[in-house]
Copies of this chain bind each other. A is one copy, B any other.
Amino acid sequence: MGKLMRVNMSALRVTTEDSGEYQGLGGRGLSSTIIAKEVPPACDPLRGLNKLVIAPGVLSGTSAANSGRLSVGCKSPLTGGIKESNVGGNTSQKIARLGFSGLVIEGLPEQGKWYILHLTKEGGKLLPGNEYCGLKNYELAKKLQSRFGEKAGILSIGPAGEMKLAAASVASTDVDGFPCRHAARGGPGAVMGSKGLKAIIVEDAGGAGVSIANPEKFREAAKKFAKAVVDYPFSGVLKTLGTNFLVAPINAAGGYPTRNFLEGTFEGADQVSGEYMQQVIAKRGGKPTHMGCSNCVIHCSKVYVDEKAQYITGSFEYETIWALGANLGVSDLDSIAWADRLCDEYGIDTIEIGQSLGVAMEAGVKKFGDAKGALELLEEVGKGTALGRILGSGAWVTGKVFGITRVPAVKRQGMAAYEPRAIHGIGVTYATTPMGADHTAGWTVGRNLASMGGDLHPHKPEGQVDASREAQITVAAMDSTGLCNFVNPAIGDTAGAPEAGPAFLEMMGALHGSPVSLDDLKALGVKILKLEREFNAQAGFTKEDDRLPEFMKQEKIPPHNVIFTVPDEELDRLFNF
């Protein structure tokens, strides 16, 4: 398996070592294990004891479909707990193809000194980076591509990461070379910024590649797997409408948080839906379907363009469109696209900053529905004004500063585009995952929505904890493979996609040279969750951190006029394994 690269920013030294005890781990499994083992849980996330781990999944760099996911791990400056933030694009495959299972960025350089890390088949090299300081991600990517070649994959931070704002992201280039994909949740960009690292450039030409125990078998299984994923109906929905297909069903369920979670349906849903967006992109000559990540066979990505067919943004997802749209009462898709672009430029989590803006609008800083005002607020982040820094520090800090108590956050991380009062299952995940309110940590929404064949009443506590636990275990394991979450439904659907699951396990077996079962994966998922939770406990987290905000247990949300009813004792049961 791959080697580990250690990048010591204090000594400005890059070394390579065998994976040793981390052998066989990848993605979240690797990042969380290293953080749990090497970072003192109570340390300050922005000081020298924290580490930034960048880990391709174990299938990244292979021919496996949709295997381009990268895990970025650290102690989070937003939550104060362990963090794995996941991103697609073209960098995961490239790092893996260079023969690395992970990069570990350690220490702190002299204050004011900035560096870039250049990875090639010769290894890693730290180069002076001050000349790139202050650059936004798109211009930065362009400059680095003109210096290192257009094929280079780039991980980078924008001004928000340089400012060490707690919502700062690490951008990854997509297959077109645009820095529109972000490991954003929990502020890994701030940790990268604290380490004086502006960018990592990955040239994989001539790389050692990923060692596969049984290449023949792997190739066959990967082919079967790709076909099963492509043929699966859900993949077709994603290809046509993108992730934003969710607007209609979530809004219909009253679970589309509107105006800082004051309401559960948005009157402007039709103007921000997947269907509408698809029409706009097609009419304007954008890319209504598009491959954003290496080895993707689903092509859920879209390139959103302006009326002159000029690129505005890519990776324009459901949660982003919600955070910068309905959550602010904004239904102008062009404005939302520009807001997404600004977030990508500054390198900031679209979900978190959307929540910050929602809270600020509740405080009266701008009015709900003010699309232009929302863009102005985002520009404050780029300028690094006091207001911009507040917003860039996340929703929880924004609430503290403006005296607003309706802050939809858990463990100081803002929620995503699913209302937990209307969709209880996701509320359980928000409350209990070690990541802070994170929809990807256990996406139980399908179990709660009749329109998606759900079997659990969305407004009742029954069954939600078990559903969330199962989803959290699964995703912890899958986040270690490098596979995109969107293959999980096919893998799990033994009736609808009978070949997908077995083909996936065959790939894993062929990779490792010994059979891999679903039980093995479940055990891995449990192991990861346990060590993440233990890290958080040692960092000072208690069961009181596994709670939704008070207002969600007091204020009924229309249209169903429901509160969150899963009892605390039920939540505390989730990790009884």
Contact = CB atoms under 8 A, between A and B. Distances in A.
Contacts of A385: 386
Contact of A405 (B42, B47, B400, B554): B47
Contact of A190 (B49, B193, B403, B543): B403
B405 A401 contact: no
A544 B405 contact: no
Contact of A42 (B41, B49, B547): B547
Interface string A386-413: 1101100100010011110100000000
Nearest to A42: B544
Contacts of A401: 386, 389-390, 393, 397, 401
Contacts of A405: 44, 46-47
A193 to B, nearest CB: 8
Query: At the interface, is chain A mostly helix, strand, loop or mixed?
Result: loop
A164 interface: yes
Q: Indicate the member of A42, A401, A551 with the most B CB atoms within 10 Å.
A: A401
A3 to B, nearest CB: 31
A542 interface: yes
Contacts of A49: 550
A393 to B, nearest CB: 5
Interface in A46-63: 46-47, 49
Interface string A135-147: 0000000000000
A539 B550 contact: no
Interface in A129-174: 163-166
A46 B544 contact: no
Interface string A181-222: 000000000100110000000000000000000000000000
Contacts of A402: 389
A41 B44 CA distance: 26
Contact of A549 (B44, B77, B539, B542): B44
Given A42-B547, A44-B550, A166-B400, 17 more contacts: A41-B544, A44-B549, A47-B405, A49-B550, A163-B403, A164-B403, A165-B403, A193-B403, A385-B386, A389-B390, A389-B401, A389-B402, A390-B401, A393-B401, A397-B397, A397-B400, A540-B541
Question: What 8 A-B pairs are tightest by C-beta distance, nearest first?
Answer: A164-B403, A540-B544, A386-B387, A386-B386, A44-B550, A540-B542, A389-B401, A42-B544
